[in-house]
Structure 1
C-alpha cells in the first residue's frame, strides 16, 4: 500500500476545499436554479439551507475524515463500525456519478472559451450550443477536460491538487470580482440586482414546494457534501486544525462567490432583455449568458474571461470528485496513483458517454443527483454521525478548536433532529418529482 499523503500546509487544505465547493454549482447551477425557482426567493431558501443544513453536515464529514485519516469507505471500519461501510461506498458512487456528467459540462466550457474569442456563438447562441453540446464534438471535449483532471490528480495531493488549487481559487476570485465590478456599469443592471437580491414573502410561499428541494440540493452540491469529498480532503489534515473555523471559512467564501456569480449573470441577462425564468435546462448558462455577450461592447473579451472563470471552477471541483475514488483505491491497492487516475478516468469517460451524446441524459443524471442521491447520502451520513458516532464526534470537533461551549451539543442535536428532518422532507419532494409527478423526471430521457 502506498504511503498516504498529507496537505503541505493548512492553507493548502482550505484552498483545495474552497476550490471543491466553488465549482459549476456556483457558476452553472446557482444562477439558473435561482431563475427557475422564484429569483431572490430561491436565494433566501438557499442561504437558510446552507446555514441550517450545509454547515452542520460539512462538520460531520470533517469529523469523520480527520478522526480516521482514511478514505470515505474505510473510515467506517477505522471507527469500529464496519457494517456501515456501505454508507461510504454510496457517497463515493454518488461523487462518481456526478463527475461523469460534470466532465461533459467542463468540455462545453472549454469549447466556449475558444468560441468566445472567435465570437462564434454571438449570432446564433442556441444553434451553437446545440452543435457543441452533444454528439462527437461533445465527447471529444469531454475527453480533453477529463485528461486535464486526470493529469492533476495523478501528481498527488501536494504536487498536484494543492499546487493547482492555489493558482485556480485566487484566480477565480480575482476574475469574478473584476467581472462583477464591470457588470455594475451595464445599463439595466439594477433590474438584474433587484431580481436576484430582493425576495418577497409572497414569492417564497408561491415557490416553496419546488424551490426548497432545489435549494437544499444546491447547498449540498455547491458545498461538495454527500459525495465523500470533505471526508476525503479532511483525512489528509492533522489534529491541530480548527474544523469549526475551516468549515465556516469554506461556507462563507463559497456563498460569497455564488452571490458574485449572480451579480455578474443577472445584469447581463436583464441588460439584453433576456428573461432568466424562460432559459432553464442544462444549456441555460451557455445559451442565455452567451447571447448576452453578443450585445455588449468587447463581448469577445468578456466572454473569454467569464468562461475562463467557469473552467477554473469546474476543474477545481472535478479534481476533488476524482480524488474521492482515487483515495479509496490508493488506500486499498498497491497500484501507483498515476495508473489509478488513468483507470478511473477511463471508467468516468464511459459512464459520461450518454450525457455527452444527448443533453436529455445529462439532465436526467443531474436530476437524479440533486433530488435523490445527494439528499440520501447526506441523510444517512448525518444520522450516523449524530446517533452512532455521537459524543466521539463532538470530541473530535473540539480537537484544535478548544472548548466549544454550547455549540457542541447544539450541533449534535442539529445533526440528530433538525438536519435529518429537512433532508428527509427534501428527499420526499425529490422522489415525488422523479417518480410521481405529471411527467415523472425519472422516465424523461426514455
Structure 2
C-alpha cells in the first residue's frame, strides 16, 4: 500500500502550524507568562524560539523526510541500533501529552456550552464553575467526546482528514483572534496590560534565569511540537523538492505570531476586569477569562469566541499528537488507519482518566512531559543529527533548497553547540525543578493526613 502524502505544500505548513499553535499557545502560554514574570518570560521565549527552536525543527525535518517513515522507523533507519528507542520515547511523549490535552479539550467544550447558556455567569463564581468542570463524571464524558472528535478526523487520512481539517482550523484561529485582539485594544486596561506583557524587567530576568530558562525551553519545544515526533512524522509525508528552510521559517513565524496575539487578547481582558494575571495553576486562564468577560461589553460573545478558538486550536494540536502514534502503528504493524486510530485513541483516553479525577495529575504529567522528556528527546536527537550524521543531514536539507555552502555548516554548528548546550542546561533545571515540585506535593499531601 502506497504511503500517504500531503496534497499541497500549504497543507503541510498549516498542519505543522496547527500542531504548533494548539493549546500550547492559547492555554499553556498565557499561564506560563503569568507565572514567569510577564514580559521577562517573553524575552526568553522569543530568544529560545529563534536561536534554538528553529534549528532544532530543521533537524527533525531532515530525519522525517529522508526516511519517509514514522518516528520509530525513521530514527531506526537514520541511525540504527539502540537509537530506535528514541523514537519510542517520542511516541510515549505524545501519549502522555495528548492524555491530558484531551481532558483540557473537554473543559473547553464545556466552556463553549457555558458561554452559550450563561453557565459560568449563573454560578456563584468563575472559580466554582471551573471546579465543576475540572473533575468528575461530566469531565470524563467531555474527555471522551473530545477524543472521539480527534479519532474521527485522523481516521479519514492525511489529505481528507488532517489536511482538510487544518485548512479550515488555522485560518479560523487567526481570524477570530485577530478580531478579539482589536476588541481588546479598545478596553480601558489595555495600556497597563501591554506594559506588563511587552516591557521586560531586565533585573527580574537576571534574578530568575534559573526558572525562566527551563520554562522558556519547555514552552518553546511544546509550542513548536518539537521533541515529540510530530515534525518527524509530518515531514515524512513531504517530497524531496520542498524547501525545508522556508517551510520552517513559515511555521515558526506563524506559530510565534499566534503566541503573541494570544497575549494581546488575554491580558487586556484580565487587566480591564481587575483580574490578577499572576494567578497560578493550569486552570487560571479558564477561571480568569470566564470571570473577566462577565463585566465587559459584549462579554458573553467575547467568551464564546475565545473558547471556540481554544477548542479549534486544541483539535489542531491533538490530531498531530495522535498521528505520531497512528503512523507508528500503520508502518510498523501494518494496521489500517481506522483501526490504528481507534486503538490509539482508546489507549490515550484511558491514560487521561486520572486527570479527570484530580487536576494535580495535569502538573505531574505536564512538567514531566514538557520540561523533562521533550527536552531530553531534543538533546538526543540533536546529538544524533549534528554529531553522528552531519553529512547526511546537510545533504537532506539541501534537497529542494539548493547549495547552502557555509549556511549548511552554520546550521549544523548551531545545533552542535548552542542548541545542545541550552537544552542540557534546561534539562538539568527541569529535572531539579520537578524534584522540588514532587517534594512539595508530597509534603502537602502528608499535611492533609
Q: TM-score range by the shorter chain?
A: over 0.9
Q: Is the 8 A contact 1:364 1:441 kept in 2?
A: no
* Contact 2:31 2:282 survives alignment (8 Å): no
Task: Quote the residue 1:134 is aligned against.
Answer: 135
Separation in 2, partners of 1:127, 1:147: 28
8 Å contact from structure 1 (residues 108, 133) kept in 2? yes
Shift of 1:200: 2.0
In 2: Cα distance, 1:118 partner to 1:258 partner: 29
Shift of 1:443: 8.1
For residues 206-238 of structure 1, what are the alpha-carbon distances to aligned partners after superposition, in whole Å with 9 as ceiling and x for unaligned? 221111111110000000000100000000000
Residues 153 and 319 in structure 2, CA contact (< 8 A), matched pair in contact too: yes
* CA offsets 1:129-176 (integer angstroms, 9 cap, x no match): 000111111111000000000000000001100000000000000000
**Aligned residue for 2:94?**
95
DSSP 3-state at the match of 1:23: helix
Aligned residue in 2 for 1:197: 198
Q: Does 1:288 align with 2:288?
A: yes
For the residues of structure 2 that align with 1:31 and 1:235, how far apart are their CA atoms? 32
Residue 124 of structure 1, CA deviation = 1.0
Determine the structure 1 residue equivalent to 2:345: 345
Once the two structures are overlaid, the 10-residue window that deviates more, 134-143 or 231-240, is: 134-143
Cα distance in 2 for residues equivalent to 1:224 and 1:42: 19
Q: Structure 1 stretches (4+) deviating beyond 3 angstroms?
A: 436-446
State the alpha-carbon separation in 2 of the partners of residues 42 and 127 from structure 1.
29
Displacement after TM superposition at 1:203 (Å): 1.9
Q: Which residue of structure 1 aligns with residue 117 of structure 2? A: 118
> Per-residue displacement from partner, 1:372-420 (whole Å, max 9, x unpaired)?
1111011111111011111110111111111223221111011111111
Correspondence list, 1:15-414, <5 A: 15-122=14-121, 123-277=124-278, 279-414=279-414
Q: Give, in angstroms, the shift of residue 80 of structure 1.
A: 4.8
Give the secondary structure class of the aligned counterpart of 1:73: helix
Using the alignment, how far apart are the partners of 2:109 and 2:90 within structure 1? 28
Q: 2-side partners of 1:441 and 1:12: how far apart?
A: 43
TM-score normalized by structure 2? 0.96
- CA RMSD of superposed structures (Å): 1.4
Task: Report the Cα distance in structure 2 between the residues aligned to 1:378 and 1:184, rounded to whole angstroms.
Answer: 38
- Partners of 1:319 and 1:14 lie apart in 2 by 14
Equivalences, count: 444
For residues 136 and 367 of structure 2, the distance between their equivalents in structure 1, rounded to whole angstroms, comes to 21
| Partners of 1:22 and 1:333 in 2: CA distance | 31
Secondary structure (helix, strand or coil) at the match of 2:418 reads helix
CA contact (8 A) 2:217 2:371 kept: no
Question: How far, CA to CA, are the matches of 1:23 and 1:394 in structure 2?
Answer: 30
Q: Which runs of 5+ in 2 are unaligned?
A: none
Secondary structure of the corresponding residue to residue 252 of structure 1: helix
Is residue 189–residue 271 contact of structure 1 (8 Å, CA) maintained in 2? yes
Counterpart secondary structure, 2:2: coil
Displacement after TM superposition at 1:335 (Å): 2.2
Change in Cα spacing, 1:21 to 1:434, as seen in structure 2 (3 Å) is same
Partner Cα distance (2:147, 2:315) in 1: 9
Residue 119 of structure 1 and its aligned partner are, at CA, apart by: 2.0
Gaps of 5+ in 1: none
In 2, Cα distance between equivalents of 1:25 and 1:282: 12
Q: 1:436 to 1:174 in 2, by over 3 A?
A: closer
Tell whether the 8 Å contact from 1:434 to 1:442 is kept in structure 2 after alignment.
no
Contact 1:354 1:362 in 2 (8 A): no
Stretch moving more, 126-135 or 332-341: 332-341
Q: Do the aligned partners of 1:272 and 1:292 also contact (CA within 8 Å) in 2? A: yes
Aligned to 2:292, the other structure's residue is in SS state: helix
